[in-house]
Amino acid sequence: MMPEFPAAAVDHLVPVADRLVEQGWSVSDSGLPAAVLSELERCCHSLWDSDSLRPAAIGRAGERQVRAEVRGDHIRWLDDCQPSAAHDAYRDAMAALRQTLNRSLLLGLDSYETHYALYPPGAGYRKHLDRFKDNPLRTVSVVLYLNSQWQPGDGGELRLHLPQGALDVEPRAGTLAVFMSDSIVHEVLPARRDRASLVGWFRRRPDNPLLR
Ligand code: OGA
Ligand code: MN
């Protein structure tokens, strides 16, 4: 039988939305139970160990290419993974976040796409924005880190390039980074040990009249 996890609390999501409005980014604790986080972490490593992750590509449709020196993570979309109680708990938490963001940002976010990502030692992701011509609907980026063993010196920090300077986020298990996909330039510093996460994007409706 699949274990069941209690529904995550949502009170802590309001400040996430507030910070997103004020500054375009938020870093906080996800509020997900430790049992969910450890199951997600285990799943990401087991996908990697069973060769079920694929090198991530960059570039436009038609000319997608793997360039590990630019982007070195290996991914699998959650839709292509076995359903589990932990995946349900994660999706429920993201649905709650989407609702909270819609209440304060009026962005009309209506879907969420998400994949596991594993950066092996040496892998990073150079400075980029998440909204590009091929993906005009990606509006809010979300990264949940899954590294219970992370220590200073292990690398793999998320570096946000902000007007006031660079801000490095340690990829510790349970940390949730949320930022505007079209405006926050960011990068992943090279990892020195396997670095696991779930990365996703809230997308807006293609026909949102508020955003024409
Ligand atoms: C991405 C990305 C950041 C991170 O996948 O587009 O920027 O910290 N990830 O994993
Ligand atoms: Mn990115």
| pLDDT tens by residue, 135-151 | 789 999 999 999 999 99
Q: Which CATH architecture has domain 10-56+67-204?
A: Sandwich (2.60)
Q: How far apart are CA 124 and CA 187, in angstroms?
A: 8
Say yes or no to pLDDT of 57 above 70: yes
Return the bridge partners of 77, or none: 115
| Pocket mutation for ligand 1, best pick of 116, 130, 131 (most atoms within 8 Å of C-beta) | 130
From atom 6 of ligand 1, which residue's Cα is the shortest distance away? Answer: 130
Q: Where do the domains of the chain lie?
A: 10-56+67-204
User: How many Å apart are CA 172 and CA 168, to the nearest integer?
Assistant: 12
Between the CA of 50 and the centroid of ligand 2 the distance, in Å, is: 25
pLDDT at 150: 98
Q: Which of 26, 179, 188 to mutate to test the pocket of ligand 1 (most atoms within 8 A of CB)?
A: 188
Q: Report percent pLDDT > 70 for the chain.
A: 93
Is the four-CA dihedral 133, 135, 139, 141 of positive or negative sign? negative
Which ligand 1 atom is nearest residue 197's CA? 10
Residue 113, phi then psi, degrees to nearest 5: -115, 140
Mean of per-residue pLDDT scores for the chain:
92
Is the per-residue pLDDT at 106 higher than 60?
A: yes
Summarize the confidence of residues 23-37 as an average pLDDT: 97
| Residues near 95 by beta carbon (within 8 Å), at least 6 away in sequence | 112
* Prediction pTM value: 0.93
Ligand 1 mean position to 95 CA, how many Å? Answer: 20
**Helix/strand/coil for 110:** strand
pLDDT at 135: 78
Kindly tell me if the per-residue pLDDT of 208 is higher than 70.
no
Task: Work out whether the CA dihedral 199, 142, 151, 174 comes out positive or negative.
Answer: negative
Task: Give phi and psi for 48, each to the nearest 5.
Answer: -65, -45
Residue 46: per-residue pLDDT = 98
pLDDT higher than 90, residue 186? yes
> Ligand 1: which atom is nearest the Cα of residue 119?
10
